């Protein structure tokens, strides 16, 4: 059985060369894993990667608050 994780989306944008980039928070409190299937507004997405960009302070702050920047594709 496929596990589908619920998320809260802070922002989501689509970029032609790379696909969907979203800042998300998992409702189960666990960090993302590549290959996770998530559900948002009745659509499902697969996480292709976690993006680490910006200052280390901003990344640490986001991660400690449960927010992750992820590359996703609609499935």
DSSP calls for 44-59: EEEEEEEE--S-HHHH
How many Cβ atoms sit within 10 Å of the Cβ of residue 53? Answer: 7
Residue 63 pLDDT:
67
Residue 39 pLDDT:
93
Tell me if 49 sits within 8 A of 56, measured CB to CB.
no
**Mean pLDDT on 58-75:** 82
20 pLDDT higher than 80: yes
């Amino acid at each position: 059985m496929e596990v589908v994780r619920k998320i809260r989306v802070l922002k989501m944008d689509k970029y032609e060369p790379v696909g969907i980039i979203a800042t998300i928070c998992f409702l189960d409190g666990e960090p993302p894993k590549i290959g996770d299937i998530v559900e948002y507004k009745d659509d499902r997405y697969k996480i292709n990667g976690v993006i680490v960009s910006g200052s280390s302070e901003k990344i640490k702050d986001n991660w400690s608050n449960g927010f992750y920047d992820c590359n996703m594709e609609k499935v």
